[in-house]
Amino acid sequence: MKKGVRVYIDDVLECIDKIEEYTEGVGEGEFYENTQIQDAVIRRLEIVGGAIKNIPEEFREQYPDIPWRKIAGMRDVLIHGYAGVNLLRVWRVVIDDLPDLKKRFQEMEGEAWLKS
């Protein structure tokens, strides 16, 4: 059975919540030194990218402000380890990008037509 869009939105939000939990009170230097936090964050970003890849294109087109391809592309880089993982980029995503992404996905989650 194919999962609905709502399931993937929930997956993204759950992963963002976990990343926030893992990095709460963690500074950039500690992030670079702590491989457990790195691994946990990277794994959750991989799941986010995988969930996004499963959201149908016709749905994604309704939200052109979300960088769908960029998120999915980061997942590919993390999973396949192309040229190594750029920890600075991972940290910047956590600090700069995830708060806005979380807000947008919470808005999507609240839209009435998704609840059906």
Across 100-115, b (16+ Cβ under 10 Å) vs e yields: ebbeebeebeeeeeee
- From the candidates 69, 75, 89, 92, give the one annotated as an active-site residue: 75
Q: Look up tokens 């980029």; give the residue.
A: 89
d(C-alpha 9, C-alpha 107), whole Å:
10
Is residue 75 part of the annotated active site? The answer reads yes
Which active-site residues does the annotation give? 75
